[in-house]
Amino acid sequence: MANFRLMLVDDEERFLTTTQKLLAKKGLDVVTAASGMEALEKLNSQSIHVVILDVKMPGMDGVTTLKEIKRLFPLVEVIMLTGHATVESAVDGLKSGAFDYVMKPADIDDLVAKAQEAHEKRERLEEKIRMAQARSYVKSPRDILKQSEEG
C-alpha cells in the first residue's frame, strides 16, 4: 500500500474509529479529526497528504474547512463525503478545489480507491514541482539558496 497519511474528518465518532481501524488494516496511515478546527490543527502539526472531509458538520462546516485547508495547505488533496441532498455543496467543494466527492453510505473500498487517486495526483504534482525546481536550480543555483532561506 502506498506510503501516505490520510485524515478522516467527521463528527460521527464511531465512524471515525471504525473506519480508522479498517483503513489501518488495509495498511493506510490514518489520522482522525472530529471537527474542522481539529483537522486544521492536525494539518498544522503533522504531515498529512489526503483528507476525507464530511460536508455537514456542526461548527465549521465541510466547505469552509475545505477552503481553509486549500488556503493554508494547497498541496493537500481533499475528498468530500456527503450524506446530503446538497450535491450543490459537493459541487461547491469541487469548485473550491476538492479532488472528488463520495456519497454516503460509501464502501470502504471506494474510499480507499479515491484516496489512492488523490494521493497519486499529489505525487504527480510534487514531481512536477521538483522538476521545475530542478530546472531553476540548473539555471541559477543562487535561487535555490534564496528559496531555502525563504522555506
Partner 1 sequence: MKENHYSALRTKILAGMMVVPIIPFILIVLIGYYYFTSSLQSGTIAKLTRVVNDHREMIESFLDERISDLRFVAETYHFSELAQQEVLSGVFVNLQLKSSAFTDLGVFDEKGVHLAYHGPFDLAGKIYKETAWFQAVLREGVYISDVFLGYRQVPHSIMAVVKQEGEKRWVLRATIDASLFSRIVEKVRIGKSGEAYILNKEGHFQTVRRSGGELMEPDPDLKPLLQVHDGVRTFVERSSGGEEYLYATTWLKSRNWLLVVRVEKAEVFEALKNVTYLVVLTALIGGLLIVTVAFQVTKRIIGRLETVDTEKKELGQQLVVAGRLAEIGEMSAGFAHEINNPLQIMKSELTLIDTLLSDLRERGELKDSADLADIIDSLKQIKSQVDRCGGITQGLLKFARKKESQAKALNLNTFLPEVTRLIESKASVEGIEIKYDLSDGMPEVQADPAHLEQVIVNLLNNAIYAIVDQHGSYGGQIELGAKTSSDDEVVIWVKDNGSGISPENLQKIFTPFFSTKPVGQGTGLGLSICYGIIEEMGGFMEVESRKGVGTTFYIHLPKA
Return residues touching partner 1 (CB under 8 A): 12, 14-15, 18-19, 21-22, 25, 56, 83-88, 91, 103-108
Q: How many CB atoms are located within 10 Å of the residue 71 CB?
A: 10
Nearer to partner 1, 19 or 43 (CB): 19
- As measured in angstroms, the least distance from the Cβ of 13 to partner 1 is 10
How near is the Cβ of 94 to partner 1 at its closest, in Å?
A: 11
Q: Give the Cα-Cα-Cα angle 20, 25, 28 (nearest 5 degrees).
A: 65
Query: What is the bridge-based pairing of β-strands 29-33 and 77-82?
Result: unpaired
Q: In the bound complex, what is the minimum distance in angstroms from residue 30's beta carbon to partner 1?
A: 13
Could you tell me if 8 and 104 are in contact, meaning their C-beta atoms sit under 8 angstroms apart? no
CA dihedral defined by 73, 76, 81, 84, rounded to 10 degrees? 30
- Say if residues 137 and 143 touch (Cβ distance below 8 Å): yes
Q: How far is the CB of 11 from partner 1 (least distance, A)?
A: 9
- Closer CB to partner 1, residue 17 or residue 64? 17
Name the residue nearer to partner 1 (CB basis): 22 or 144: 22
